[in-house]
Amino acid sequence: MAELYIYKTDFEPVFLPGEIARFITESERFDAECIAVGALPEYQKDFGALTAATWDTDNEDTNLELSDHEVSQLRMRVVDDMQLRFNNLSSTRQWRTAQTSFVLKQFPTNEGEDFLKQFLFKASEFFVYHNDTPRFDFYSDVALATSRVIFSGWRFRIRKIKPGQMRPAKVIWVSGWPSGDQIA
Does residue 132 form part of some domain? yes
Total domains in the fold of the chain: 1
Give residue 151's domain range: 37-155
**Positive or negative CA dihedral for 171, 65, 91, 76?**
positive
Q: How far is CA 126 from CA 49, 50, 122, in A?
A: 24, 24, 10
Question: Residue 161: inside a domain, yes or no?
Answer: no
* Distance, CA of 109 to CA of 77 (rounded, Å): 11
Tell whether 27 is covered by a domain: no
Question: How many C-beta atoms surround the C-beta of residue 27 within 10 A?
Answer: 11
Q: Which residues contact 99 (CB under 8 A, 6 or more apart)?
A: none
Tens place of pLDDT for every residue, the chain, 184 residues? Answer: 456 677 888 899 999 999 999 998 878 899 999 999 999 999 999 999 999 999 999 999 999 999 999 999 999 999 999 999 988 655 556 788 878 889 999 999 989 999 999 999 999 999 999 888 889 999 999 999 999 999 999 999 999 999 888 888 888 988 766 665 554 3
Give 79's contacts (C-beta < 8 A, 6+ positions apart): 44, 106, 107, 146, 148, 149, 150
- In single-letter form, the type of residue at position 82 comes to M
Instruction: For residue 155, give the nearest of 85, 72, 79 by alpha carbon.
Output: 72
Classify residue 165: in a domain, yes or no.
Answer: no
